[in-house]
């Protein structure tokens, strides 16, 4: 009963999205067609010519002011409503991952070792479809909607490049009235939620992501005489273990970090002690203070252990994405819209952040807004056992895209003060 009451309260505030969901049904076949086209021809990084062409083709007949970014394949598409007002931004990322696909889908990737394994093909299609839906309701919009089609989310800082190129420099309306971007929302599909469910939270929602390399330098020699050498291999192993000890004993469990060593490279053959050993991995945290503490601790632990064994350690941390921090009122607003759209029983407030990272963090460092998650588990599959995002076997239920399109459109409309009924 409490969930029903919550849903009813949300619909009292936002309206009932029946007409929006009906509108989405009419657009679903086009959304699926675009998604499958993108899935068959995935591209990685910041330069996505085929993807950009497909998106532009899908938007060609809409009343949008298009800006093609020059440093990346990013697209900014601005819809101006029939009445003056502020601008709300919606983001969809477009890039794929450098990995094989083993789904067996009829529209599986045709590009060797490139796959849309994180659902960005669905994000792009949902955003383009929301642009069509909102364009058909343009006269009712008191303000504007900026659609951010972004490349390079998978570690290439595409959002940062689009911001640096002036994405948010939205011109004034024709009469000179300012129309600044006042809020930004992004949706990310996931197989760890049932199809059509929505989740989010205020505050930190996704971790920072940095990479590190530690080079331990000793002295090479013959494998039969380790005392005449300085063997970096056991020292590298000791450093790996000490890093885990450092995290569990020096980092607050309620302000966590995850440090994962993913590679150790050393040696050339069985009877040679090498001079160097390289350790690589990632650092994730959900606050900037813990992030810095881990960076400093990593260097201190590695250098200290190496010096104990009369060796040296060079530690290099490459800064990646910041912590993704949802503006609390924006997240509450977004989840209330979700309550009205899908029902409070399918709109889940997350209890804690997710340790993955997102370059939408750059946007949220400049604007109030929120990252929201959309369930896409295939029908009949348990979310707990479904192939996860970034798996070579991950599949998403395309019916989830209906919810995604409706949520994008509803977030824009409600941010501009338009009721969902």
Q: Rounded to two decimals, what is the model's pTM?
A: 0.94
Q: Is 321 annotated in the active site?
A: yes
Tokens of 113: 């070792």
Predicted confidence at residue 3, as pLDDT, reads 65
CA distance 408 to 205: 19
> Which residue carries 């595409």 as its tokens?
158
CA distance 103 to 391: 10
- Check if CATH label 3.40.630.10 holds for domain 2-205+323-415: yes
Q: How many CB atoms lie within 10 A of CB 379?
A: 8
Write down the domain spans for the chain: 2-205+323-415, 208-321
Q: How many CB atoms lie within 10 A of CB 82?
A: 12
CA distance 369 to 190: 20
Instruction: Report H helices in 203-287.
Output: 232-250
Write the DSSP string, 354-396: BSS--THHHHHTTS-EEEEEEE-PPTT--TTTSPPTT-TT---
Query: Which residue spans within 63-197 are E strands per DSSP?
Result: 64-68, 75-80, 83-93, 142-150, 181-190
CA distance 400 to 234: 50
Top CATH class, 208-321 = alpha beta
pLDDT of the chain, 421 residues: tens digit per residue: 456 899 999 999 999 999 999 999 999 999 999 999 999 999 999 999 999 999 999 999 999 999 999 999 999 999 999 999 999 999 999 999 999 999 999 999 999 999 999 999 999 999 999 999 999 999 999 999 999 999 999 999 999 999 999 999 999 998 888 999 999 999 999 999 999 999 999 999 999 999 999 999 999 999 999 999 999 999 999 999 999 999 999 999 999 999 999 999 999 999 999 999 999 999 999 999 999 999 999 999 999 999 999 999 999 999 999 999 999 999 999 999 999 999 999 999 999 999 999 999 999 999 999 999 999 999 999 999 999 999 999 999 999 999 999 999 999 999 999 999 8
Q: At 259, which helix (H) or strand (E)?
A: strand 257-266
Burial 107-121 (b: 16+ CB within 10 A, else e): bbbeeeebbbbbbbb
Residue 281 near residue 291 (C-beta atoms within 8 A): no
Query: Could you tell me which residues are beta bridge partners of residue 190?
Result: 375
Q: Which of 136, 213, 238, 398 is catalytic?
A: 398
Q: Which of 154, 185, 275, 321 is catalytic?
A: 321
CATH topology match: 2-205+323-415 vs 208-321: no
Instruction: Report H helices in 343-393.
Output: 360-364
C-alpha 355: how far from chain center = 11
């Amino acid at each position: 009963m409490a969930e029903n009451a919550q849903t009813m309260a949300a619909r009292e505030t936002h309206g009932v999205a029946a007409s929006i969901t009906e509108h989405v049904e009419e657009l679903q076949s086009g959304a699926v067609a675009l998604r499958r086209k993108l899935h068959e021809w995935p591209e990685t990084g910041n330069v996505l010519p085929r993807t950009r062409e497909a998106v532009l083709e899908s938007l060609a007949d809409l009343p949008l002011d298009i800006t093609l970014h020059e440093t990346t394949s990013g697209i900014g598409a601005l819809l101006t409503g029939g009445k003056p007002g502020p601008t709300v931004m919606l983001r969809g990322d477009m890039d794929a991952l450098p990995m094989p696909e083993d789904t067996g889908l009829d529209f599986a990737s045709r590009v060797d070792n490139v796959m849309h394994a994180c659902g960005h093909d669905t994000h792009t299609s949902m955003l383009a479809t929301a642009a069509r839906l909102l364009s058909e309701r343009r006269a009712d919009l008191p303000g504007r909607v900026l659609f951010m089609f972004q490349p390079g989310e998978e570690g290439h800082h595409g959002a940062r490049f689009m911001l640096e190129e002036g994405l948010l420099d939205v011109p004034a309306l024709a009469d000179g009235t300012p129309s600044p971007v006042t809020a930004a929302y992004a949706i990310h599909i996931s197989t760890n939620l049932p199809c059509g469910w929505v989740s989010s939270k205020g505050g930190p929602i996704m971790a920072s992501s940095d990479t590190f390399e530690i080079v331990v330098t000793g002295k090479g020699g013959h494998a039969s005489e380790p005392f005449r050498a300085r063997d970096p291999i056991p020292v590298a192993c000791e450093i790996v273990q000490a890093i885990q000890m450092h995290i569990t004993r020096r980092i607050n469990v309620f302000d966590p970090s995850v440090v994962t060593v993913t590679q150790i490279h050393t040696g050339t053959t069985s009877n040679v002690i090498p001079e160097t050993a390289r350790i690589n991995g990632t650092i994730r945290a959900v606050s900037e203070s813990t992030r810095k503490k881990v960076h400093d601790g990593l260097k201190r632990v590695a250098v200290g252990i190496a010096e104990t064994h009369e060796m040296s350690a060079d530690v290099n941390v490459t800064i990646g994405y910041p912590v993704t921090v949802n503006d609390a009122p924006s997240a509450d607003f977004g989840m209330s819209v979700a309550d009205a759209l899908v029902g409070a029983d399918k709109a889940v407030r997350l209890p804690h952040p997710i340790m993955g990272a997102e370059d939408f963090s750059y946007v949220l460092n400049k604007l109030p807004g929120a990252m929201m998650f959309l369930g896409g588990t295939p029908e009949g599959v348990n979310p707990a056992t479904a192939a996860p995002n970034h798996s070579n076997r991950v599949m998403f239920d395309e019916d989830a895209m209906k919810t995604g399109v409706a949520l994008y459109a509803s977030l824009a409309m409600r941010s501009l003060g338009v009721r969902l009924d």
